Amino acid sequence: MIGHARAFTLVETLVVVGIIGVLTGLIMPAFKMFRAESQNTNCLSNLRQNYVAWQSYQSANKGLLPMCEFLPVVTPQGIEGGLPNLLSKYIASDGRSWLCPADDDLESTATGTSYTYLPGLLRYAPQVQMEVVQVLMNLPADTGERQRETARLRAESKLVARLFENDTNGLFPILMDSADRHPGTRVPRNGVYLDGATRATKVEETTTAD
């Protein structure tokens, strides 16, 4: 005669549910940490890929620093300006390397990039613009608009490059997360530097200390 299987009692069921709850509580933080570390690693890889394209542009333009807006601009005609468009000959402007895996901001999706191009921001520094004005004033009176724009970009490129070369402490990244996306560090933004190294940035920490 086959015996009947004993059913779980209510107490046993509650114990099992409790154990599952404890295990879930232990596993979920570890899973989130693993996911965050994976996103951080992929972000650093993205920055490195973009740096290689940036370097290729420099090589093809006699060492000139790529000069453009620090972020692309969304217009009715589409996305204009920004580093992804400027480097489109070397890396796809709509490629995955321009979006940080930890970025869920719709604005980043709209502009096509999660990263701020710091030279495009430093070009507006007063000391840079004062020297650019001097360069433009010294041009011949009959210089055309296109030639003036080329002269302006070349001057900005050389002056901003000088700022980076004088950054002996390596504080300023070339390209960096446009927002805090990697918790767990003093400044949870990644950047790629003039020498191609990728790491967490120190820009905000320095600004705060000042």
Question: pLDDT tens for residues 126-147?
Answer: 999 999 999 999 999 888 999 9
Q: Which residue has the higher pLDDT, 72 or 168?
A: 72
Give the chain's mean pLDDT: 84
Cβ contact 113:97 at 8 Å: no
Q: What is the pTM of this model?
A: 0.79
* Domain boundaries along the sequence of the chain: 10-209
Confidence check: pLDDT of 27 > 80: no
Cβ contact 96:42 at 8 Å: no
Cβ contact 120:176 at 8 Å: no
Residue 9, pLDDT score:
72
- How far apart CA 189 and CA 103 sit, in angstroms, is 11
Q: Is 144 helix (H, G, I), strand (E, B) or coil?
A: coil
Confidence check: pLDDT of 204 > 60: no
> What is the 3-class SS of 105-128, one letter each residue?
CHHHHHHCCCEEEHHHHHCCCHHH
For the chain, the C-alpha Rg in angstroms (whole number) is: 25
Residue 208, pLDDT score:
38
- Number of other residues whose CB lies within 10 A of the CB of residue 199: 14
Question: pLDDT tens for residues 175-195?
Answer: 999 999 887 666 689 999 999
Confidence class for position 158, pLDDT limits 50, 70, 90: very high
Cβ contact 29:22 at 8 Å: no
